[in-house]
Amino acid sequence: MLLREVDYARPSTVEEAIALLAAYEGARALAGGQTIVNVMKARAAAPDVLVDLADLDELRAIGFSSDGLLEIGAMVTYSQLISSSEVEVARPILAEVAATIGDVQVRNRGTVGGNVCVSDPTNHLPPLLAALDATFTIRGPESERTVRADEFFVGVYMTAVGEGELLTKISVPPPSGAGDGFAGVTIGKHGTFIVDGAATVSDESVRIALGCVAATPVRATEMEQRLAGGDFSEEAVRASAEGLGASLDPPSDVHGSAEYRRHLAEVSAVRAVLQATGRRKGP
């Protein structure tokens, strides 16, 4: 409801931002603020310093790398993602899913970087980006590195971004004929997810990632292997999901028991795969 005392800075370059984050131990990056301001209102966490990334135009770009990766700056808002022609052409599932996050006001401020760095198990983008095999570029005072999803998402509210570091961009490979799907059950329309699943299906590979069932997105590797044969009929997809729920240890809460979440995981995975299958583009 009301924040503790905090210091605030608004750097004008990424280097300045990183320097601030490195210099102050209790410093946190302020991106869209749609999560961190809530957290600070509840006094569940109280950073000493907020480093506002608002002026870092470098982090707001959407474009393509020379090898065809779709590069999305960490400060790109959901609204920007939704109206981006690059995203529409390259990987429209990102815009589709972003369009269901919260509401217009939240989408005008909330950022893709914020969504992944918070690493809340119920957030939309982590399982989606895991399925898309996205990579995450992290810059520190001395160096820059790029990691995959399974290395980026470490735990609840924990990512590979360390103190004094900043996520600068997310890179998504081109689909190359793959279809993408996303399905789940929310608390009310466009509400928080209870369970969700994302899938990318091409003739060569299947990637399926589930959210809300563990601290970080879970790849349904056995299901992926069973589908390697290339049979994506509904019967085959349903059969491939057998045992998926039993392999998970999801939480129980007011919105669903562990048993319900195990079941929803199978349902979400199947629906995401079927949707992705239907969206494959031929060679």
Partner 1 sequence: MTTVTEQPVKTLERGYVGQSIPRREDKRLVQGLGTFFDDVRRHGMGYVHFVRSPYAHARIVSIDVSKALELEGVYGTITGDEVAIHTDPFFEMSVEPGGNISDYALAVGRVRHMGEPVAAVCAATRELARDAADLIEVEYDALPVLVDAEESLKDEIVLHDDAGSNVVWSGVFDWGDVDGALAEADHVVKIDRLHFHRFSSTPLECAGALVEYDKGTGEWTLHCNHQMPGVGAIWMAPALRTGIDKLRFVTQDIGGGFGNKICLHPQYVVLCLMARKLGRPVQWTEWRTDQHTANAHGNERTFLDVEVAVKADGTMTGFKVKALDDCGAFPRYEPLGCIIWAQVTPGLYGWQNIRVDFTQVCTNKSPVSPNRGYSRMQHLWLTERIIDIVAAELGFDPVEIRKKNYVKANQMPYETPNGCVYDSGDYAAALDIALELIDYGSIEERRKEAASRRKLLGFGIGSTLDSGTNNFGQSTLLNPDLQFSGNNEAASVKLDIFGEVVVTLGTVPQGQGHETTAAQVVADILGCSPEQVNVRRGHDTWFNSHAGFSGTYASQFAFTGLGAVKGAAELVREDMVQLAAAVLQAPVEAIELADGFARIKDGPEEAALPFMALGAIVNANNAFLPPEFNPTLNHRYVCRPYFGMVDKEKKTGQLTLTYATQIHAAVVEIDPETGEVEIVDYAAVDDCGVRINPQIVEGQVHGATAHAIGAALSEEFVYDEDGTLLTANFYDYHVPHAMDMPPLKTGAMESPSPVAPLGAKGMGEGGGGGIHCIGAAIQDALRAAGGAIVYDSCNPPHRVWSMLQDPEATRANVSVVSK
Partner 2 sequence: MAAPASSYAITVEINGESVELEVPARRLLVHFIRDDLGLTGTHIGCDTGNCGACTVHLDGEPVKSCMLLAVQADGAKIATVEGLATDGELTSLQQAFNQHHALQCGYCTPGMLMSASALLERNPRPTEDEVRYALQGNICRCTGYVNIVEDVVAAGGGRA
Minimum distance from residue 129 beta carbon to partner 2 (Å): 24
Q: Which does 104 bind (CB under 5 to 8 A by kind): partner 2, partner 1, none?
A: partner 2
Compare residues 99 and 160 and give the one whose CB is closer to partner 1.
Answer: 99
Q: Who contacts 220 (Cβ-Cβ below 8 Å, separation ≥6)?
A: 197, 208, 209, 210, 241, 244, 269
Compare residues 6 and 239 and give the one whose CB is closer to partner 2.
Answer: 6
Secondary structure (3-state) at 243: coil
Using the rule CB under 8 A, which residue among 18, 24, 197, 198 binds partner 2? 24
Q: Which does 44 bind (CB under 5 to 8 A by kind): partner 2, partner 1, none?
A: none
**Sites for partner 2 among residues 47-106 (CB under 8 A):** 49-52, 54, 79, 102-106
DSSP class of residue 82 equals H
Minimum distance from residue 102 beta carbon to partner 1 (Å): 10
Distance CA 206, CA 131 (A): 9
Compare residues 139 and 262 and give the one whose CB is closer to partner 1.
Answer: 262
Residue whose token pair is 């039993």: 246
Compare residues 94 and 101 and give the one whose CB is closer to partner 2.
Answer: 101
Q: Which two tokens stand for residue 110?
A: 């909330």
Q: Which does 6 bind (CB under 5 to 8 A by kind): partner 2, partner 1, none?
A: partner 2
Residue whose token pair is 């931002």: 17
Nearest partner of 69 among 143, 132, 140, judged by Cα: 132
Torsion of CA 111, 116, 120, 125, to 10 degrees: 80
Q: Which two tokens stand for residue 179?
A: 């279809």
Contacting positions for partner 2 (CB under 8 A): 1-12, 16, 19-20, 24, 27, 30, 33-34, 37-38, 41-42, 49-52, 54, 79, 102-106, 108-109, 189-190
